[in-house]
A and B are shown apart, each in its own frame.
Chain A
Amino acid sequence: MSGPATMAIETPARAVLGRFMRHRLALFSAGVLALLATLSLLAPVFELLLGVDGEAVDLFSRYGPATAEHPLGTDELGRDVLIRLLYGGQVSLFVGLTATFAAAVIGTAIGLMAGYAGGRIDAFVMRVTDGVIALPVLPLLIVLAAIDLNKLGLPETILSSESISLYRIVAIVALVGWTTVARLVRASTLSLKTRPFVLAARAQGAGAGRIMLRHILPNLASPIIVATTLSVGNVILLESVLSFLGLGIQPPLPSWGNLLTGAQETIWEAPGLAFYPGMLIFVTVIAFNFVGDGLQDALDPRARDRRAAERH
């Protein structure tokens, strides 16, 4: 985060790091997340090491116990649970991160423009934001599930891929999830644009785009990062809820949400199958929350927790 210092970010990187390190829970959580992400990315390596194929169905070893070959046993189709969980982690983390990132980008752009333009444009954008917040997600999901993507001119490789449900969820979250960041950014932009350094830049003849990107945006980095980190967990939870409703990531692509949903019907027969993904979701979401919390402390020590008090 080394923005060109038109105005120095109040907190030098070293101090930020120092404060974050003091936040032991956040540090521990960041470690857990890094570990989970690494393990998930290494899923193919584990597959090789264990000598199993994560997709190979074996109807003769359903609900197998833990063995050297299958450290966490096998699932209802005889697939290795550990490998499925790791691939599920890839999907869940990917959805959580990309969807929130996309939502943050959209929200920042809209909030910046509304806040900077002010007046009627601002009022209009904020009413639209109200509308989007009130928008029912469910019918939107079903509509998107049925839209003929061929007509949108997407490349064939994406269309025929089984990951299509994944992109769909990312798109939905991005479409409805930008409002938080937009409100936050707008509020800060409104106050920043009257600050002397912005007025000075404008007096020097800088264009609106340049002022927004070079002068205002760097000062918004910390609230955006904090809000985004906190919402990664929510998106992972949302994915599990959508899976529960049959609208989430579709098998055979595993995600923690659909692994958990699939296992709940056999929770009596094989409680472990529900326990592991449930626990992973729980740990990941709580870890993202702690990291967000810690970042907030670190990036903005004085205005700590003012986030809650912020209104548009």
Chain B
Amino acid sequence: MSAFLIRRTVHSLIVLFVMSVVIYGLIGLMPGDPVDLMISADPNITSDDAARLRAIYGLDQPLWSRYVNWLGAAITDDFGYSRLYAQPVWQAIVPALSNTLILLISSLALALAIALPAGIFAATRPYSLADYGINLAAFAGISMPPFWLGILLILVFAVTLGWLPAGGTPDAAGVAGWWERLQFLILPVSALTIAGIGGHTRYMRASMIETLRQDYIRTARAKGLSESRVVLGHALRNAMIPVVTVIALDLGVLFSGALITESVFAYPGMGKLIYDAVMGNDYNLALVGLLMATALTLLGNLLADVAYAALDPRISYEDLDA
């Protein structure tokens, strides 16, 4: 077990390192540099200014030497300075990260709380009317363009009904209680939840149907156990394996994928931060943000394998080492 973990961690670190090179290269390949953008915004920048600014930001050096410099500093825990946010990279990331985590954890929890029972319920009555209904609802959630959904939610609950704020985050001065703070979260969390329920429901249903076909379930039924004991007592544990796997694998995507929801609801999270950093040519911030997303994806992969093995005694760690 620990040998497996160590080996996989080393693999992940190598992939992470390669990705840092690839991402740095990609950002470097993007046309123009920060100074070009400054020049187009400020007519007073002269040729001398341009040369001076490029030197200050180290843009006069070749890409590889900038990368080596960054890597050298990063190893000593200095991830550089974000030009766009005018803060050390880490300081810019922390608030966005905590915002994103609040958003993701609550919407994931909510989505699972709805999706898992719905999926199990549908699986126990395959091809019934209820199953069709749940399927339809699940697909409906997945199939809506995310910004359309966001705008519809705002139109209904903020503009027409006036129940909830249309976006943003609470300010410390104007807002007192936890309810006021919570209000700002309801719409973005709902949007992400609606988009997330479908996938989880489908996986849960599929996995449960598959499990219920297994011989040991037939045995359990034959012993005269009640259906709910069969489903919840015997089948659930095995049926959860692929569901947990899929959740773990999705971590990285979830992390940077809330971009649309974040921008529709003016919610300052990681998706928006990474997007702005890429668009604003903020190398250090974009690199660290993207690497965090990558690291999370890899971690998700690792967790998925661990969970897979932990939940399913038939799988040994050796099998997983492709």
Contact = CB atoms under 8 A, between A and B. Distances in A.
10 closest pairs, A vs B, by CB?
A305-B206, A285-B143, A286-B143, A146-B31, A134-B294, A308-B206, A309-B242, A134-B297, A240-B145, A278-B148
Contact of A285 (B142, B207, B252, B279): B142
Contacts of A260: 145, 148
Interface in A163-183: none
25 contacts: A25-B132, A127-B11, A127-B15, A130-B15, A131-B22, A134-B297, A135-B19, A138-B278, A139-B23, A139-B26, A139-B30, A139-B286, A146-B30, A146-B31, A241-B147, A241-B260, A244-B147, A245-B259, A261-B147, A264-B148, A278-B144, A282-B145, A304-B209, A309-B206, A309-B210
A109 B147 CA distance: 35
Interface of A: 25, 122-123, 126-127, 130-131, 133-136, 138-140, 142-143, 146, 233, 237, 240-241, 244-245, 257, 260-261, 264, 267, 274, 278, 281-282, 285-286, 289-290, 293, 304-309, 311-312
Q: Which of A123, A130, A134, A285 has the most CB of B within 10 A?
A: A134
A264 B147 contact: yes
Interface string B230-266: 0000000000011101100000100010011000000
B30 A142 contact: yes
Interface string B12-35: 000100110011001101110000
Contacts of B301: 130
A138 B304 CA distance: 26
A134 B278 contact: no
Nearest to A297: B127
Nearest to A136: B290
A275 to B, nearest CB: 9
Contacts of A281: 143, 145, 148
B322 interface: yes
A282 B26 contact: no
B30 A237 contact: no
Interface in B117-172: 132, 135-136, 139-140, 142-148, 151, 155
Contacts of B132: 25
B269 to A, nearest CB: 15
A274 to B, nearest CB: 7
Given A139-B23, A260-B148, A305-B209, A123 B298 contact: no
Contact of B23 (A136, A309, A311): A136
A309 B207 contact: yes
Given A126-B322, A241-B147, A264-B147, 9 more contacts: A25-B136, A122-B322, A127-B11, A131-B18, A233-B143, A278-B148, A304-B209, A305-B205, A308-B206
B293 interface: yes
B285 interface: no
Contacts of A142: 30, 278-279
Contacts of B67: none
A309 B145 contact: no
A136 B293 contact: yes
Interface string B279-306: 1000000100010011001100100100
Contacts of A282: 140, 143-145, 148
Nearest to A279: B148
A237 B286 contact: no
A127 B7 CA distance: 13
Given A25-B132, A241-B260, A267-B151, A289 B210 contact: no
